[in-house]
Chain A
Amino acid sequence: MTSEPPNSARKVVVHLRATGDAPILKQAKFKIAGTDKFAKVIDFLRRQLHRDTLFVYVNSAFSPNPDELVIDLYNNFGFDGKLVVNYACSMAWG
């Protein structure tokens, strides 16, 4: 790994990916401070889509806890310089 600025200065590129019939964002990539919690990504999504009920998950088959730090998620599950976060709209009753 190349030397990086300390985590406090580190920004993470998040790529929001629509799945199913969820609306696609015009601006799907953005930067967020690594020290922010994942809750911020969820809230950002909710505001962008004007929806509260979203199912948010990462490719590795799990839904990140809102308390997780974005930098931790990126370090473990990021690739190609970004963290891909998938979102779907809430399901109908099964």
Chain B
Amino acid sequence: MDSASSWDGTLRLSEFYFAARALSQKWKHMNHVLPPWTWFPCPRPSWAASHEVEGYLSLENVCYLRSNGEDPDRSCTSKEEPSYYKEELTDDATLVQSCDEEVHFYDFHILYSGSYKVPVLYFRAYYSDGQPLALDDIEKDLPPNSLKILRESKWTFITQEEHPYLNRPWYTLHPCGTSEWVKLLFSGDSCNNEYVIEKYLISWLSVVGQVVGLKIPLEMLKKAQLYPVSSSSSVNDGLSRWNPQEDC
């Protein structure tokens, strides 16, 4: 990566891995509402060097309550057994939620875009019975500010794409403007390479999260909280918190 002033706001694949690990570790420590991000390693594309790690971050089963009144904090703790809602219930009294509340589940994946060299957010939503939500319904779940950003801004929009690894259609925030606004985000900081990589996904998520209703705790954004990513003890630590999964 070049010096901060000439940096173009992009990440190399290997840097994405470290940025993902930094996000995951801090999130686990400081986010007490949502479950941790999980890293899914994936088969390496033919163009990636042999030492590079390919994969994506996953945060799934985040439930969004469709409430009537003002609800600034739309996302809540994910249910530990989402399959509960799919079971046949004969007795309404056993339902956890009240009858006039709708619960939607959201899955978020953070992938690396080889063409834009930036992270990309993929997401999908579904009803408690497993039926997918259409974009119209998803937009009703999103914070009011996010619809403004999407309709009026020039830096992102929602499209439907085939998930690069799962081969199903997911919604995504198009990455074409990302490098430009990330560069802007970091322009005020006197930062070195390592600092930018560690902070990259957290800063990126502070913006992208606003569109999809994921709130970043202020704790995670403070400078003083950076963890060293390179020491061997934290690598093992990091791996155990990583929840590495089998190849997708």
**Interface core residue of B176, B180, B215 (most chain A CB under 10 Å):** B180
Question: Which has the most chain B C-beta neighbours within 10 Å: A57, A65, A67, A93?
Answer: A65
In the assembly, what is the distance between CA of A77 and CA of B189, in Å? 13
Which residues in B have some Cβ–Cβ distance to A below 8 Å? 72-73, 116, 143, 145, 148, 152-155, 176-181, 184-189, 191, 199, 202-203, 206-207, 209-210, 215-216, 218, 221-223
Question: How many chain-A residues does the 8 Å CB contact rule pick out?
Answer: 29
Give bound CA distance, A69 to B177, whole Å. Answer: 28
- Knowing A67-B215, A90-B155, A92-B154, the reply to whether A61 touches B189 (Cβ < 8 A) is yes
Q: Could you tell me if A60 and B153 are in contact, using CB atoms closer than 8 angstroms?
A: no
Q: B185 → chain A, closest Cβ, in Å?
A: 5
The answer, yes or no, to whether A55 is at the interface (CB within 8 Å) is yes
Chain B's closest residue to A66 (CB) is: B145
Q: Please tell me which one of the listed residues A61, A66, A73 contacts residue B185 in the complex, with CB atoms under 8 A apart.
A: A61
Chain A residue with Cβ nearest B116: A94
Asked if B155 and A59 make an inter-chain contact with CB atoms under 8 angstroms apart, the answer reads: no
Interface membership of A86, Cβ < 8 A? yes
Which residues of chain A from 68 to 90 have a CB within 8 Å of any chain B CB? 68, 72-73, 76-77, 86, 88, 90
